[in-house]
Structure 1
Amino acid sequence: MKPIYAKPPLGSRAAFQVRKDYFDLLDTKWHYHSEYELAFIKYPHGKRIAGNSITAFEEDDLVFYGPNLPHAWSHEPAAGEVPATSYNSGLSYYAIVVHFSKSCFGDSFFAIPEMGAIQAILRRSTHGLVIYGEARKRIVQLMSQLVDHTGSRRVILLLQILEELSVTEEYALLSSAGYWDNLNDHDAVRMSGIYEYIIQNFTREIVLDEIATQAHISPSAFCRYFKARTKRTLKEFVNDLRINYACQLLEENQHSITQICFEAGFNNISNFNRRFKEIKGITPQQYRTNILGIHHNNIKRTAGEHSQS
């Protein structure tokens, strides 16, 4: 899965880019870019990779990514689902994607005092944000209008979206911050190869000599290079990735915690429990219990809404 640096379209005089893409099977290339990205994916269920986060989603996805955060989406089959074999046979689903730079309205526009709250949410977007609840509904409505309008109305709609993002508490952070700022072309190619290697191999032991060879540098140089560009050691980065993957498996509730420990790449249950609590603040069992409680409450709430209607 080769990462792609996605450059903005040439020759466009618009301050920012908006597009709506139709598809049948969700399968985006892993990519990154220097612009902010707001993306709504109209799709029943899938998998999202954002930095060191690997997460399943259901009933559509709305995310806000800061610059240079590697990300992708793919189809995640539901239990018993027949694998899809064709693309674009009926174009049943769609994505609305907005790209903009921090200087899209001028170099100092977002620096004025009135933009303080928006500045704060732009900083948080370096982690990647997933937006849910009523905020998601409001923002998706505005994004749909954004597709249909031009001129000053489009500018006003984007500012309304950023205002919604800046005031809502209905979001969660996806990843560690600190991705690939101010990389030159050589660094971008090297970090892409490193990241691809980790994504493909994180569920097994990653040997330092092996990954350093992939990057064409010595093991000691690799450790310094990786931490300077990700703000994390290789071990911290891989453990974050494994724990996020373990969370996805716990949410699916199909395997025992011991099975999940080994599937996520840990070699013993005590280390898994210790790292999980260190990163998430609770044990794997507590995490599963909390998720099941949320699921149970959602079912009760949905049943109550149906009985009232």
Structure 2
Amino acid sequence: MKAEYRSISPSLGSSFNTTLFEGKEFIASWHFHPQYELTYILGSSGIRYVGDNMGNFEYGDLVLVGSNLPHCWKTIGEQKEEVRCIIVQWDKEMLEDWLEKKEFQHIKQLLALASRGIRFDFETALKVENQLLALVDLPPFERLLSFLQILQELAVNGSHHFLAGEGFTTNLTIKESERVNLIYNYVKEYYNQQISLDDVSKKIAMNKESFCRFFKKTFRKSFFEFINEYKISMATKMLINTDLTASEIGYQVGYNNLSFFNRQFNKFVKMSPSKYRKMYRDI
């Protein structure tokens, strides 16, 4: 699939779009649009890309994406359940006049932060889950009021962290976005094998030197750092969802050397695989 600029139409009778998406997997490639987007995951799991950030998603993942910030969600591996999520999208102009009023100061600050992408913590997400679910079936006027209440709750009481780095640029061309999506799909398919610069650069019709410059400029990290980050993201999911040993998981995600796997895990997660598994199982 090609990444693309997406045009979004409001829901019938509304000034913004509210969708309950259900399907076997997310159909959108890495894309961008001028609208803000709030996505809440109700089912399925995988890897989320926002700007230059990569992270796991599962039930309770609530993310706010700013205008023209590239993003996509990709299901990974065998799924126990289908994708279900609430997606709310609105134009910058929709709230433009209101944001100058004192009553909207907190929402204004929240939307300004969304340029880097924001992930809210699980407790914050659960607080607004029922309101998000209800948005789909509410009449237009009540939907707008409830939506503003959700934004206010997230702005005032929501705990969150940024996703994309400060230096990430949203000024990507369609062609550059297409390249990124080809890279994502290639890594998803071959991450547990030996991937060479020759392989991936040929895939996107670039020479190795140009590819390395393009990747470093776009993501502010090397391609091999990105691959290792992807492998470790997969490993964290397996540590939580399987009873495989750390060495078995390291092998399955493409590491033939257990010591190197442990070093990479510590680099990206800041703890050992065994400590990570224990932390989640003690919750």
With the shorter chain as reference, the TM-score category is 0.7 to 0.9
Instruction: Name structure 2 gaps, 5 residues minimum.
Output: none
Partner of 1:158, secondary structure, is: helix
May I ask how many residue pairs the two structures share in their alignment?
Answer: 271
Distance in 1 (CA, whole Å) between partners of 2:231 and 2:164 is 12
- Counterpart of 2:110 in structure 1 is 118
- Counterpart of 1:162 in structure 2 is 151
1:71 aligns with 2:61: no
Give, as a single letter, the amino acid of the residue that structure 2 aligns with 1:256: T
Give, as a single letter, the amino acid of the residue that structure 1 aligns with 2:105: E
Partner of 1:70, secondary structure, is: strand
- Counterpart of 2:278 in structure 1 is 289
- Aligned-pair CA distance for 1:20: 2.9
Q: Is the 8 A contact 1:68 1:180 kept in 2?
A: no
What's the CA shift string for 1:259-297, capped at 9, x where partnerless?
A: 111112223111111111111111111111111211xxx
- Counterpart of 1:29 in structure 2 is 27
- Counterpart of 2:177 in structure 1 is 188
Give, as a single letter, the amino acid of the residue that structure 2 aligns with 1:39: T
- Aligned-pair CA distance for 1:63: 2.3
* Cα 1:19/1:75, change in 2 over 3 Å: farther
Give, as a single letter, the amino acid of the residue that structure 2 aligns with 1:265: G
What's the CA shift string for 1:109-142, capped at 9, x where partnerless?
A: 48999246414652452xx625423x22331222
Partner of 2:71, secondary structure, is: coil
Distance in 2 (CA, whole Å) between partners of 1:106 and 1:276 is 44
Once structures 1 and 2 are overlaid, which stretch shifts more, 12-21 or 62-71? 12-21
Distance in 2 (CA, whole Å) between partners of 1:287 and 1:254 is 13
RMSD: 3.4
Q: Is the 8 A contact 1:56 1:76 kept in 2?
A: no
- Counterpart of 1:48 in structure 2 is 46
- Aligned-pair CA distance for 1:53: 4.1
Q: Is the 8 A contact 1:63 1:129 kept in 2?
A: yes
1:263 aligns with 2:252: yes
Distance in 2 (CA, whole Å) between partners of 1:26 and 1:99 is 22
1:97 aligns with 2:83: no
Distance in 1 (CA, whole Å) between partners of 2:256 and 2:86 is 41
Distance in 2 (CA, whole Å) between partners of 1:15 and 1:179 is 30
Q: Among all aligned residue pairs of Structure 1 and Structure 2, give the percentage whose two residues are the same amino acid.
A: 22
- Aligned-pair CA distance for 1:108: 9.7
User: What's the TM-score, normalizing by structure 2?
Assistant: 0.79
* Cα 1:271/1:178, change in 2 over 3 Å: farther
Distance in 2 (CA, whole Å) between partners of 1:150 and 1:7 is 23
Q: Is the 8 A contact 2:9 2:17 kept in 1?
A: no
Partner of 2:133, secondary structure, is: helix
Distance in 1 (CA, whole Å) between partners of 2:97 and 2:200 is 39
Distance in 2 (CA, whole Å) between partners of 1:71 and 1:111 is 34
Distance in 1 (CA, whole Å) between partners of 2:222 and 2:98 is 34
Give, as a single letter, the amino acid of the residue that structure 1 aligns with 2:37: E
Q: Is the 8 A contact 2:255 2:261 kept in 1?
A: yes
Distance in 2 (CA, whole Å) between partners of 1:26 and 1:124 is 28
1:222 aligns with 2:224: no
Q: Is the 8 A contact 2:10 2:17 kept in 1?
A: no
Please give the residue correspondences for 1:205-220 in structure 2 after superposition, counting only pairs within 5 Å: 205-220=194-209
Q: Is the 8 A contact 2:60 2:126 kept in 1?
A: no
1:249 aligns with 2:251: no
Distance in 1 (CA, whole Å) between partners of 2:155 and 2:10 is 31
- Counterpart of 1:39 in structure 2 is 39
Q: Is the 8 A contact 2:128 2:150 kept in 1?
A: yes
Q: Is the 8 A contact 1:39 1:96 kept in 2?
A: yes
* Cα 1:104/1:29, change in 2 over 3 Å: same
* Cα 1:239/1:110, change in 2 over 3 Å: farther
Q: Is the 8 A contact 1:15 1:105 kept in 2?
A: no
- Aligned-pair CA distance for 1:170: 5.1
Distance in 1 (CA, whole Å) between partners of 2:231 and 2:101 is 37
- Aligned-pair CA distance for 1:107: 8.6
